[in-house]
Amino acid sequence: MIDLQRRIVLMTKLGEYLSSNDENLIEAIDNAHRANGWFIPEFVQLSIHNIAQYFLKEELLNNWIAQYPRIAAEQVQPKKVGIVMAGNIPLVGFHDFLCAFISGHHLKVKLSSKDTVLWKHIFSKLQEWETSFEQSVEVSEMLKGCDAYIATGSNNSARYFEFYFQKYPHIIRKNRSSVAILDGTESAADLEHLSDDVCQYFGLGCRNVTQLYVPKEYAFEALLAAFNKYLSHIDHNKFKNNYDYQLALYLLNQQYYMSNGHLLLVEADTVYAPISVVHYQQYEDKEQLIATLADRDEVQCISMREPVEKNAKLLRFGANQQPSLTDYADGVDTMRFLADL
C-alpha cells in the first residue's frame, strides 16, 4: 500500500510530467488523436494543462486533503472502489481517479473505449515511478466485487448503473450541460472567453455552454464575431458533418437560425443542444433566472461576466474548463463520500 505522502509526491510528479514536452507524452497525445478523432492535440493538451495546473500541485493537494481529517490522518479503511469513466473529452474522469487514489482506496477502473490511450500512458508512467502502483489501481472491463462505485454516463446508462449498483454505496452521474447569462454589457474580451466555454472540446463536455440566456432585443453580432476564434472547427470532418446535418434540418423545417459559419444559434428552451448548435432564450428578471438555473440538476455551470452570488455553479466567462480540486461534479463531495466508506 502506498502511504499518503508518497501518493502526493507521485501525483505532483505526474503534474510535472504533464507540464513537460517529453517525447513519450507527445507521442501519447498523437496516438490519442488517431484513436479518437475528437481528441485533437490542441484539446488534449488543454485538458492535460488544466489537470497539471489546477489539480497536481503539491500545495493544492495538501490544502485539499487537509479538509478531510480521516484522509489526512490515513484513517480510511481501504475499500475496493469501482470507477466507470466517461470518454466525451480527454481524461474527463481524472478527478474521480485522483479522489479515490489520494483517499487510499484500491481502484478498479473501467475505461471508456473513447479514451484508453491517455489513461494507459499515464498508468504506465505511474507504475514506472512507483512499482507498487499496480496494487492500488487495476484496469478492468468488469467491475464485479467492488465495495462502492462511481459511475458517469448518459441518462440511459445511469438507469443501468442505478439498478446494478443499488446495493452498494455509489455516486452516479447523468447527462449535464452548462449555460451562460448575458446582459448586453459584455466586452469583446468577455465574449471571447465565453467562446472558450462554448467551443473548447467541440462543445462535448458537461461544462461546455450549450444554452445562452439573453435580454430582449439582444444584438448577436458581436457574439457571433467572438465565436470566429474557433472557425477552424468547420475544417474538422466529424464536426462539419454534424454542422451540415443540423443546418439541413433547419433549412428543411424553415426554422430561424443564426450562424457565423461553424456554429448555429437557435432559439430553444433546453440546455441540451446537438454538436455545432447553441440554444438561446430571452429572459426578463436576471436574479430570478439565476435562482431558477441554480436549482436545476441538469445545469453543471452558469457562466457570467461577473458572478455576484456565492454559488458553486456560478463562474466567470472562460473558467468552465478550469475546475479546482473542490469543484465536485453535480455538487457531490466525492472525497467526503470516499472518506466515509
How is the chain split into domains, by residue range?
4-175, 177-316
Give 250-309 pLDDT, tens digit per residue.
999 999 999 999 999 999 999 999 999 999 999 999 999 999 999 999 999 999 998 877
Q: What is the pTM of this model?
A: 0.95
Residue 212: strand, helix, or coil: strand
Domain 4-175 fold is: Aldehyde Dehydrogenase; Chain A, domain 1 (3.40.605)
Strands across the sheet containing 80-84: 137-139, 106-110, 80-84, 148-152, 170-173
Helix (H) or strand (E) holding 258: strand 258-259
Give 301-332 pLDDT, tens digit per residue.
999 998 877 788 999 999 999 999 999 998 89
**CB contact burial 205-223 (16+ within 10 A = b; e otherwise):** bbbbbbbbbbeeeeeeeeb
Residue 64: strand, helix, or coil: helix
CATH architecture of 177-316: 3-Layer(aba) Sandwich (3.40)
CA distance 167 to 232: 48
